[in-house]
Structure 1
Amino acid sequence: MNILFDADRRLRNGWWMLVFIAFIAATRVVYAPLKAALAQLGVTEAWLEPVPFLLTLLATWAVLRLRRERLASVGFQMDRRWWRHAALGMALGMGSLLLAAGLILAIGGVRFQPDPERSLAALGYGLYVFLFVSLLEENLFRGFLFQRLVAGAGAWVAQIAFALLFAFGHWDNPGMDGTTRLVASIELGLAAILLGLAYLRTRSLALPIGIHLGWNWAQGYVLGFGVSGMDHPGWLQPVFQGQATWLTGGEFGPEASVLGILVDLLLIGLLWKWKGLAPASDAVPVAPVAATPTALPLNG
């Protein structure tokens, strides 16, 4: 068996994953000096928010150029359908977070009061910040690497692998210890499966990006919870009522609550029932790629 190429003389998926990881590693090398150079030019921290995503998008574009594929092939088809799915995802993300918060409220775990420093400007800035967080994380966790693993090893192998990776990627977050670490890791792993399923049902990153954005924004900048342990100024402030952290999520946010897990399972069930718009096969369609690729124009 040829370990480099398959029967169609295409480079195997595992090697493409390594190529992508190499490109991502290169962006990590240039990130710090690039950020410092932009700061010296007077670019503020707020305007630097898109930089990590743009660097990962550049890495994605580079590997797709080698494969002679368009950027749309990984799920960035910026057509009307894409925007409809993004809007639907945001509504689902916000609705599911509000459901989790409502359950915590119903058991007497929290009450809410207006944040005295709330402002529409803060809400807008939070939407901007979490837009690029969602774009970054979905491009990394449901983009090229995930899709190549789906194509090479199957959907469930990819789902489990990236669920573990997504949960492990949050282990250094503030408050990740004790029971919180256990409950939050389970919730984050289930959230990754949910987002992966959103991609598999649509073969687009629009729905997972929207879900991710809606959940995080509503969690942090609307209701004032911690977002994976990170504090953000909210329109409201949660005041916890002394219930166990594994019920309320505490300072970490509803991602550390068993009620958050319950909501994840509900959404996974709904997406599982939904047939979506994906091709019948679990494999991600891949255009034929010659062993020695040549560059073709790409859309962006």
Structure 2
Amino acid sequence: MNKIFFNAQQQLRNGWWVMVFIAILAVSRQLYKPTRDWLASLGASTMQLEPLALVFLLLVSWSCVLLRRQRLADLGLALNSRWWQQLLFGTAAGMAMMAVIALLMWSFSAATFGINPKFQAADLILGAYLLLLGAALEELLFRGFVFQRLIDGLGVWPTQLLFAAIFAAGHMENPGLEGSAKLVAMLDLALASLLLGLAYLKTRSLALPLGLHFGWNWAQGYLLGFQVSGHEHNGWLLPQLQAQPDWLTGGNFGAEASIFAVFVDCLALWLLWRWRGVAEASTSPELMPNATKTATLPG
């Protein structure tokens, strides 16, 4: 009976830690709406309430970390200079990936671009605020405590494939997911999950995946003017989709539903796979195809 709950080191098994997380999350969900309503009654605006879901998820994750007698740094939230460097690098890389996708779409006559006359500079700041919160929430949920426990319990690739399926399925009800873009979008979302998971595994930090996620979405929505997973944003540019199939243009879901996004994600996955990673992450031979090379990514 003892082996059901504890491993050979007399530590609670990872599967039970996942159940602990789910239980605490379920309790927090009962507190979330009353807390939000109470803050709204005090005069908090919708924009001021945006971080609340992230705060609750952070508290749930922190509770589990404390129960394991660990620190937030063990969750991937060290917030030291290396962490911020990786966040900035990931943001720049995510933006660059989306820029390449847009360039390919333009080159293959899938889209043209003009300046959006309704754009205001404040939109960039508002977009950064909203999309950074959204990316942080999703990364903490999909690459945080549960992902990390299953990595330890099930192994790298079973967990990666499981979360890729969950991440893609979690977007199935998004607007704009229709026509030939639907299959491409699901494939690209799964690839994006694998990429973000690999970014965590190579660094044992949430900074790089968070930066990639945020930079990708912010550039897609507020610089290039595409929908982000089907949601409209007031971007600096105004893309005009040409008379091409949805799998080429991304349709109403956004550029991430274009076949060019699949190509860019595959290229990014290959490059990240080839990278050795930082010292703390270099513990699994299956993640180190070039173990003799030194890291070139910041941190």
Aligned equivalents of 2:179, 2:244: Cα separation in 1: 16
1:98-122 residue CA offsets vs partner (Å, 9 max, x unmatched): 1011101111111111111211111
Q: Is the 8 A contact 2:202 2:282 kept in 1?
A: no
Q: Is the 8 A contact 1:150 1:282 kept in 2?
A: no
Q: CA deviation at 1:41?
A: 1.1
Aligned equivalents of 2:71, 2:152: Cα separation in 1: 17
Deviating more after overlay: 180-189 vs 259-268: 180-189
Aligned equivalents of 1:206, 1:103: Cα separation in 2: 28
Whether 1:221 aligns to 2:231 is: no
Pairs within 5 Å for 1:17-56: 17-56=18-57
1:238-266 residue CA offsets vs partner (Å, 9 max, x unmatched): 11111111001022101111110000000
Whether 1:8 aligns to 2:9 is: yes
SS in 2 for 1:250: coil
Q: CA deviation at 1:31?
A: 2.0
Aligned length: 283
1:45-71 residue CA offsets vs partner (Å, 9 max, x unmatched): 111111111110000011111111111
Aligned equivalents of 2:281, 2:217: Cα separation in 1: 30
TM-score normalized by structure 1? 0.92
Q: Is the 8 A contact 1:155 1:282 kept in 2?
A: no
| Alignment match, 1:138 | 139
Q: CA deviation at 1:223?
A: 0.8
The CA RMSD over aligned residues, in Å, is 1.2
TM-score normalized by structure 2? 0.92
Q: CA deviation at 1:180?
A: 2.4
Q: CA deviation at 1:279?
A: 3.4
Whether 1:234 aligns to 2:238 is: no
Q: Which runs of 5+ in 1 are unaligned?
A: 284-300
Structure with more relative contact order (C-alpha pairs < 8 Å, separation 6 or more): 1
Matched AA of 2:275? W
Aligned equivalents of 1:42, 1:153: Cα separation in 2: 46
Q: Is the 8 A contact 2:222 2:233 kept in 1?
A: yes
| Alignment match, 2:170 | 169
Aligned equivalents of 2:190, 2:27: Cα separation in 1: 27
Q: Is the 8 A contact 2:176 2:251 kept in 1?
A: no
Q: Is the 8 A contact 1:104 1:259 kept in 2?
A: yes
Q: CA deviation at 1:35?
A: 1.6
State the 4+ residue runs in structure 1 displaced beyond 3 angstroms. Answer: none
Q: Is the 8 A contact 2:179 2:246 kept in 1?
A: no
Aligned equivalents of 1:42, 1:167: Cα separation in 2: 36
| Alignment match, 1:288 | none
Aligned equivalents of 1:44, 1:62: Cα separation in 2: 28
Q: Which of 263, 281, 284 lines up with 1:282 in the alignment?
A: 284
Whether 1:209 aligns to 2:187 is: no
| Alignment match, 2:272 | 271
SS in 2 for 1:31: helix
| Alignment match, 1:296 | none
Aligned equivalents of 2:220, 2:23: Cα separation in 1: 34
Q: Is the 8 A contact 2:180 2:245 kept in 1?
A: no
